[in-house]
Amino acid sequence: MPISGVVLTCAPGLSDSVVGELASFDGVEVHGVLPDGQIVAVVEADSVDAEVSLVTRMHEIAGVATVRLAYHNFEDLEQ
């Protein structure tokens, strides 16, 4: 199952509401919010397609400026 670690940058003051929204995303775990408001999350899904779908939805959350990818493992997928 592909797993990735991502960092979300938010507009000032909106990190908390973004974290709230992320709680409703199946397959996304928030691992922490940094003092500057950046959010670290782990994404887990059945396929890379589903993973990217989650990231695309993250982009659409009000206040999310960027979603960046730190680590992506998809070792057990048929390629």
Partner 1 sequence: MDVSRRDFIKASAAAAAFAAVGGKSLNPLKPGAAEAAEGGVTWGKAPCRFCGTGCGVLVGVRDGKVVAIKGDPQAPVNKGLNCVKGYFLSKVLNGKDRLTTPLIRKDGKLTPASWDEAMTLIASKFKESIAKYGPDSVAIYGSGQWTIFEGYAASKLFKGGIGTNNIEVNARLCMASAVTGFMTTFASDEPMGCYDDLDLGDTYFLWGANMAECHPILFSRLLTNRLNNPEVKIIDFATRRTRTSLMADRYIKFKPQTDLALLNAIAYVIIRDGLHDEAFIKEHVVFKKGKENIGYGLEDKFKFADEPKGITFEEYRDSLKAYTPEKVAALSGVPAETIVEMAHLYADKKRKVTTLWTMGFNQHTRGTWVNNLAYNVHLLTGKICRPGENPMSLTGQPSACGTTREVGTFTHRLPADMVVANPEHREKTAKIWGIDPKKIPAKPTYNATEMFRALDRGDIKVIWSQVTNPFQSLPNLNRYRKGARKGEGRFVIVSDMYPTRSTEQADVVLPSASWVEKEGMFGNAERRTHQWFKMVDAPGEAKDDLWQTMELARRLGHGSLFPYQHPQREIWEEYRKFGEGQGKDLAPYDAYVESRGLRWPVVNGQETRYRYVEGYDPYVKAGEGVKFYKNKPDHYRAVIWARPYEPAPEQPDQHYPFWLCTGRVLEHWHTGTMTGRVPELKRAYPEAVCEMHPDDAKKLGIKQGDQVRVSSRRGSIQLAADLNGRGKAEHGNVFVAFFDENKLINELCLDAYCPISGEPDYKKCAVKVEKAR
Spatial distance between the Cα atoms of 52 and 5, rounded to a whole number of angstroms? 12
Q: Minimum distance between the CB of residue 19 and partner 1, rounded to whole angstroms? A: 15
Distance CA 57, CA 54 (A): 5
Binding-site ranges for partner 1 (CB under 8 A)? 1, 3-7, 9, 11-12, 29, 31-32, 34, 36-38, 40-42, 44, 48-53, 55-56, 59, 65-76, 79
Long-range pairs, 45-50, Cβ under 8 A, ≥24: 45/1, 45/2, 46/1, 47/2, 47/77, 48/2, 48/74, 48/77
- Residue 3 or 19: which CB sits closer to partner 1? 3
Least distance to partner 1, CB of residue 20, Å: 19
Minimum CB separation from partner 1 for residue 36, in Å?
Answer: 5
